[in-house]
Structure 1
């Protein structure tokens, strides 16, 4: 699908567009977490180029995805694309063992080291946007060395921006109080866990919406942990999907786009077919009645218990 302007070859932005880091990006983007699963580098590059062909110009990534593999694929496939905005993240590193895929890396010097790692693997001199993934004491079993003051983390991110290593600061897994405290630093985006069945961060979304800050929900279809509700399993979602001729996953993604104008989706996949289905969710129209019925689904509350079970030895 392309822009309807005569003579234009610019792809339409799936889901419409929103301003991120001072640039207009598609509201349906692509997250690279699953990109290292693609067996061959050429296949990974084809997937990324297909996303661009379909109008995607917002990519979410991290150096710790596949030990830099995702970033290197982005650099090789899209390095010449001036219109692309790449959002990366710092604050965690891969776990060598245990039930969780990542462990905290919260100290200011660790944040700085991760920024440099992302610069190297993306082969750039400045990162467009960097999300600082906050792990607050009490929200996760942290070693004393990882119990870091939020103000110290923000100060380090501001210093990195002032040095020209990053363009804009984003935040991830923050509370409403933390987002309010960080607003004077200038926040471009927030990335929290959020879906139709997990709406505990609605107050954070409210602040982001009021401030014109983009909201990029991770686990947008729920079901990330054992016992966590999956959006696609909800009977109302399944009924609405049949009504509009879409899949339950597409309805779950479309609800997010309808729920708030600052939502930017970053679903990930290792399949071009699945990529195309995710991007098509940006064209799913929901009536006011259908949105109201979806809104009425009671969000689940079992994720904290599921996480606690995972943390037990």
Structure 2
């Protein structure tokens, strides 16, 4: 039986199938109301891990989640990401891991989320223009100050993970990964070996899963949708994987979360596993 929970950093218990809030519109009013309803429904359905970031609307997504869910129910964890900032001169977004920027974004996130401590804070990307020790050292200081509970990284290589672990305790890694895109397989393997949570972003290959004959065939045999099959494969793939599928629609949310109840047989898992890197045969 596939485990349904995981302890991030060894102690922060969450349900493995979470929710990514990136796609939730924050305006106009009608769309915002729909976004609030989706966030609330996610929690009603048992989600305990919601992923957001400063990048998502410059903090507007964080404010939306607080409006929808505060005061937060026991056990709900909202993780956010810092390290991408908008240029004051050009208005363009870019990597910015300077200590002052990271500190400011964390302080803003605390205010927007209406919390005193962010239990899991992730560095959205490593800024190549700022020494890694300065970026991670700042996050470690914020942890010592009680503003951050655990530290994670996003879109990193195995080498960067090793370098980071020499500086801080890494609780999570958020890289792109799904059934049809396994470029970061070595990073997943490193996380599994170290007991580090692996949060795949883009956990479903949008528009592609349903077009693959083998995925559609397994879905039909199980009475499920292709999306549910690909999420169930992730949950079976490794006990450290915590998928965070995102959507702005309640029906898609309910479809996604139902994947937690879908059990793949070894034969189904193997059929899906063989799809990695294989092109779809011509009709």
The two structures share one fold, judged by TM-score above 0.5 = yes
CA distance, structure 1, for counterparts of residue 23 and residue 125 of structure 2: 22
- From 241, 248, 261, give the equivalent of 1:270: 248
Q: Paired residue for 1:125?
A: 116
Q: CA deviation at 1:94?
A: 5.6
Q: Deviations over 1:154-213 (max 9, x none)?
A: 111111111212111011011111112222411111100111111111111111111111
**Could you tell me whether the CA contact under 8 Å between 1:196 and 1:299 is conserved in 2?**
no
Q: CA deviation at 1:82?
A: 2.5
**Could you tell me whether the CA contact under 8 Å between 1:86 and 1:127 is conserved in 2?**
yes
CA distance, structure 2, for counterparts of residue 261 and residue 233 of structure 1: 27
Q: Paired residue for 1:197?
A: 180
**Could you tell me whether the CA contact under 8 Å between 1:57 and 1:83 is conserved in 2?**
yes
Q: Paired residue for 1:18?
A: 6
Q: Deviations over 1:96-134 (max 9, x none)?
A: 9x9xx9522232322222112211211222111111122
1:63 paired to 2:51: no
CA distance, structure 2, for counterparts of residue 277 and residue 205 of structure 1: 26
**Could you tell me whether the CA contact under 8 Å between 2:204 and 2:245 is conserved in 1?**
no
Q: Paired residue for 1:48?
A: 39
- From 261, 269, 277, give the equivalent of 1:299: 277
**Could you tell me whether the CA contact under 8 Å between 2:26 and 2:32 is conserved in 1?**
no
Q: Paired residue for 2:85?
A: 93
Q: Paired residue for 1:27?
A: 16
**Could you tell me whether the CA contact under 8 Å between 2:26 and 2:64 is conserved in 1?**
no
Q: Paired residue for 1:161?
A: 143
Q: Paired residue for 2:265?
A: 287
Q: Which moved more, 1:84-93 or 1:60-69?
A: 60-69
1:178 paired to 2:160: yes
CA distance, structure 2, for counterparts of residue 205 and residue 133 of structure 1: 17
- Give the gaps of 5 or more residues in structure 2: none
Q: Paired residue for 1:259?
A: 237
1:72 paired to 2:63: yes
Across the two proteins, how many residue pairs are aligned to each other? 271
CA distance, structure 2, for counterparts of residue 15 and residue 282 of structure 1: 10
Q: CA deviation at 1:234?
A: 2.0
SS at match of 1:199: coil
* Paired residues for 1:166-245 under 5 Å: 166-184=148-166, 185-223=168-206, 230-245=208-223
Change (3 A) 1:300 1:152: farther
CA distance, structure 2, for counterparts of residue 40 and residue 62 of structure 1: 19
Change (3 A) 1:188 1:120: same
**Could you tell me whether the CA contact under 8 Å between 1:61 and 1:88 is conserved in 2?**
yes
TM-score (normalised: structure 1): 0.79
CA distance, structure 2, for counterparts of residue 26 and residue 103 of structure 1: 32
TM-score (normalised: structure 2): 0.87
